[in-house]
Amino acid sequence: MEELQYLNPTELLEKIYDTLCSEYEDEAHYDNEKDKQDIEVTKRRLTKKVFNEFVVDDEYFLTMDSKTFKERYHLYEKDLLKMITGCSENGVPYEKFIRIIDDLLASANHRLNAFEQLNEEITRIKTEKEQEEQESEEVIEEESEEEEEA
């Protein structure tokens, strides 16, 4: 299996994902409305458990600081849940599933990197402007001192 860039899959992730896939398979065998409702609840809970089991930079989504999660992954939460559902509903093999999730996490990280680059560039520009203003003030002060001496 090719190396993943961002997702650090756990053994539990694979087990939960496999269980979720089996719930989708089993669903076709139930006719009772109560059983179907129970399966829906189970699928929703397992989907959220899969999501919470994602580990990026040694941090689980479940235990990640809310500020960090919001900054990095909040915009991708619906997409990640949609990917989990789409993959498990259609029986996408686990190895392919984690590659798909890793690709989406890569997108989130590229977005974060772009904003970090923007912030760095803004800081650089502000620093240059401050230096230019300071140099201009020094030149004006020197000219002023020269005029007073003359």
Name the band, by pLDDT with cuts 50, 70 and 90, for residue 12.
Answer: very high
How confident is the model over 75-133, as pLDDT tens digits? 999 999 999 999 999 999 999 999 999 999 999 999 989 989 999 999 999 999 989 88
Distance between CA atoms of residues 137 and 44, nearest Å: 64
Q: What is the mean pLDDT of residues 19-37?
A: 92
Phi (first) and psi of residue 57, to 5 degrees: 55, 45
Residue 68 belongs to what domain range?
11-108
Q: Is 140 within the bounds of a domain? A: no
CA end-to-end distance (rounded Å), the chain: 80
Residues above pLDDT 90, as percent of the chain: 73
Q: Is 63 within the bounds of a domain? A: yes
Tally of structural domains, the chain? 1
3-state secondary structure of 59: strand
3-state secondary structure of 61: coil
